[in-house]
Amino acid sequence: MSGRRISEWQSRVLSDLDAFETAFPGEVEMVGRYRCRGKDMHLRLRVRTADIEHGDGGLRLREYEEFLVTVGQTDLAPPRVDVDHLRFLNHAHVLLGMRLCLYLDPSREWDPAHGFGGLVDRLMEWLEDAAAGRFDAQTALYHAVGGVLHETDGAPSAVIRDSLPTGVLVQHGWLIERAPLRYDLTLERDRSGAAEHVPIVHLDAALPLGAGSTLPELLSVVEDPYAGFPAPGEAFTTVRWLAGLAVPFLTAVAASAIRKPDGTAQRIVIAVPHPTGGEPHLLVASIPGPGADRLRAHARASTMRSSVINIDPAKIEPEIDVEWLPVSDEREKVTTRRDSTRPVSAFAGKTVHVWGCGGLGSWVAELVVRAGATKVVLCDPGRVTGGLLVRQNFTEADVGRPKVEALAERLRSTADAVEVVARNAPMPVASDWDGADLVIDATVSIAIGRLLDRVAANAARPVIAQMACDVRTGTQGILTVSMPPETTGCLTIDAQVGEAAKTAKALEPFRELWGADADTDEIIPTRGCSTPTFHGSAADLSAVAASLTSILGSHLGSADPLSGTHLISLAHGEAGPIRHFVPITVNETTGPAHPDADATETEEGSDA
């Protein structure tokens, strides 16, 4: 036992362990005495695992298993649990063959109030799940590369969106610098000279022990994925082999490096096969300038003897470091959008018009782009002024610019794939209508509403939606949707719902959306000739825009075309959290569509 005084948390761990041993003799016990190295306390834990059932594909456990537990000075992070053998190698949630991943997200899952007993409980749950084969290796984090994240602090990120061809050992790639801390990988040669050539090397086996931090370590696991570890008895769960890729790997890297100026870093994209199949896991290594220069020297020496670069991996200096670029892997086959189950996913792949880029429209435009719209047409004749920054989606740098140009620039910086058309006018040109899926009218213009009502009468037309908020607070929102085959336009539907609101009790909180008295609540933002406008903050309007955009997404994603008007009140609004939907129905006798106030759907908060 170390003579260093242990911390309060470490002392508590020992007390908890003593209590556990007393309550459950023979089940969990410390082997020997604890040791202190630096600020950490280390102990060996023996756990009885004989009664844990084994399932198909599960981890095979002995009667007792022993674990190395590292306890830090504080309880802000859970103790680390390792084994000192390789019997768990290649199993999901085993890091670098020896460390157990007990917590996927310690910040949410680790509660120090449960003490060391909580860790023991978690360990037993982990062992039961592992033995039963309940872990999914396909979704285990970084399973192909030892389960650990390969990132160097301060290194730029590499964005990868294209799937890589299969059946090749080495292929060409180029990294294009998009920002000081961002590079994009492309498979098409950039002849402008701005792109940096990188070899893309496809390995034959996963790297269960990781990829190392020096070039010799990397070459070692490229050649032998088990990095020379002995394999006594049942140490390995898969057949061991030598990949034999160190020489071609080094040749490809050197051939790229020798074509770059001295002092230039050399980067490599490494495609590591996933143990469960499918798309490979991608790493991006970087050999800093000094190390890359040593590699160039080896390459030049090699070409003096032959026209082919041939470097003995054993001659690579051990001090040549390898840094790892964080990889933003955005390949479609390995990435699930975080909003894929949300209503806004219906905007993905759509062409959307946003007419009016003000208090609601400027936020809505960004929301539909983030949701995956492939084309957005912006229409607004206005310019950005300083007063608008209080609630519209613009910045100080935009003041003086046409709204559509400033917003278009923002949208293009938000998503590379989106096409943005900016029309500094109230409405688009005729060609913009081609392929339009949705028109969102956020102009609050009667004339624009009349025009879109005429469009709604056509059989072949896009979905039309109209958005607005109340004048007095900016905390109420109204969304009217007209979906084909409905031929009644949003302005007409809105007027009809306004009439119904005069008598419908459920719509009483929203009557001011149509009432003329509300006009007296408008403000004059600047003395002189300034157009009256409504009250409302960025917090109010962005929230209204977000809610209405999600509701509109539900319409787009529905199998049944449903037209009508949604009315919402934000949680902090005077009416409290309320949502109403007034559907449009068709009278079988007279034919024309009209709002069915009796069919109003209502959702209210408990304080409404």
Question: The CATH number of the domain where 492 resides is what?
Answer: 3.40.50.720
H or E element: which one contains 43? strand 40-48
Which two structure tokens, joined as six digits, stand for 327?
């990889």
Structural tokens at position 9: 């948390």
Residue 23 lies in a domain: yes
Encode pLDDT of 293-309 as tens digits: 999 999 999 888 777 89
Residue 588 — very low, low, confident or very high, per pLDDT cuts 50/70/90?
Answer: very low
Q: Is 150 within the bounds of a domain?
A: no
Looking at the fold, whether 312 and 406 belong to one and the same domain comes out as no
Which class for 364: exposed (0-12), middle (13-18), buried (19 or more C-beta within 10 A)? buried
User: What does the alpha-carbon distance between residue 372 and residue 350 come to, in Å, rounded to a whole number?
Assistant: 8
Whether 400 and 291 map to the same domain: the answer is no
What is the reported pLDDT for 243?
Answer: 58
**Does the pLDDT at position 530 exceed 70?**
no
Residue 413 tokens, joined: 């910086």
Residue, of 440 and 522, whose pLDDT is higher: 440
Answer whether residue 231 shows pLDDT above 90.
no
In this structure, the answer to whether residues 91 and 182 fall within a common structural domain is: no
Lowest mean pLDDT among 48-52, 455-459, 522-526, 542-546: 522-526
Give residue 585's domain range.
343-604
**One domain, residues 515 and 570:** yes
**Stretch 240-255: mean pLDDT, rounded?**
84
Residue owning tokens 């950490």: 40
Please check whether residues 51 and 192 belong to one and the same domain: no
Q: How much is the pLDDT for 2?
A: 53
Lowest mean pLDDT segment, chosen from 25-29, 196-200, 519-523: 519-523
Nearest 5°: the CA angle 391, 396, 401 is 95
Give the domain-ending residue among 70, 105, 135.
Answer: 135
**pLDDT band at residue 242, thresholds of 50, 70 and 90?**
low
What are φ and ψ of residue 479, in 5° steps?
A: -130, 120
Model pLDDT, residue 523:
58
Better-scored residue on pLDDT, 598 or 324: 324
Q: Which of the four pLDDT bands, split at 50, 70 and 90, describes residue 3?
A: low
Amino acid 352: pLDDT? 98
Listed residue (213, 216, 240, 212) closest to 226, CA to CA: 240
Could you tell me if residue 501 is inside a domain?
yes
Residue 607: pLDDT band with limits 50, 70, 90: very low
Provide the 8-state DSSP code for 314. G
pLDDT digits over 371-390, tens only? 999 999 999 999 999 999 99
The reply to whether 444 falls in a domain is yes
CB 186 within 8 A of CB 176: yes
Position 569 in a domain: yes
Crossing angle of helices 289-305/246-257, nearest 10°? 100
The alpha-carbon radius of gyration of the chain (Å, integer) is 32
Q: How many domains does the chain have?
A: 3
Please measure the distance between the N-terminal and C-terminal CA atoms of the chain and give it in whole angstroms: 64
- Write phi, then psi, for 221 (nearest 5 degrees): -80, -25
The answer to whether position 38 is within a domain reads yes
Residues 294 and 251 in one domain: yes
CA-nearest of 404, 367, 282 to 548 is 367
Highest average pLDDT, of 332-341, 398-407, 588-597, comes from: 398-407
* Contact predicate 105/216, CB 8 Å: no
Judge if 348 and 302 occupy the same domain: no
Predicted local distance difference test score (pLDDT) of residue 567: 97
Regarding whether 354 and 309 lie in a shared domain, the answer is no
SS3 178: strand
Q: Are 379 and 445 in contact (CB under 8 A)?
A: no
Residues 405 and 301 in one domain: no
User: Confidence band (pLDDT; 50, 70, 90) for 20?
Assistant: confident
Alpha-carbon gap, residue 569 to 370, rounded angstroms = 24
Residue 460's CB: how many other CB atoms inside 10 A? Answer: 5
Of the three residues 301, 329, 357, the one that is the final residue of a domain is 329
Provide, rounded to the nearest whole percent, the portion of the chain with pLDDT above 90.
Answer: 77
Nearest CA among 197, 311, 315, 291 for reference residue 251: 311
pLDDT band at 527 (very low <50, low <70, confident <90, very high): very low
pLDDT at 237 over 90: no
In this structure, the answer to whether residues 389 and 276 fall within a common structural domain is no
Cα diameter, the chain: 95
- What's the mean pLDDT in 527-551? 82
Distances (CA, A) of 491 to 60, 160, 481, 488, 544: 68, 45, 10, 9, 20
Is 3 part of any domain?
no
Tokens of 404: 């559509």
Most confident of 202-206, 208-212, 347-351: 347-351
Residue 266 pLDDT exceeds 50:
yes
Q: Each residue of 128-182: pLDDT tens digit? A: 999 999 998 877 777 889 889 999 999 999 999 999 998 899 999 999 999 999 9
Predicted pLDDT at 191: 75
Q: pTM for this one?
A: 0.84
The CA-CA-CA angle for residues 591, 597, 599, to 5°, reads 90
The verdict on 279 and 360 lying in the same domain is no
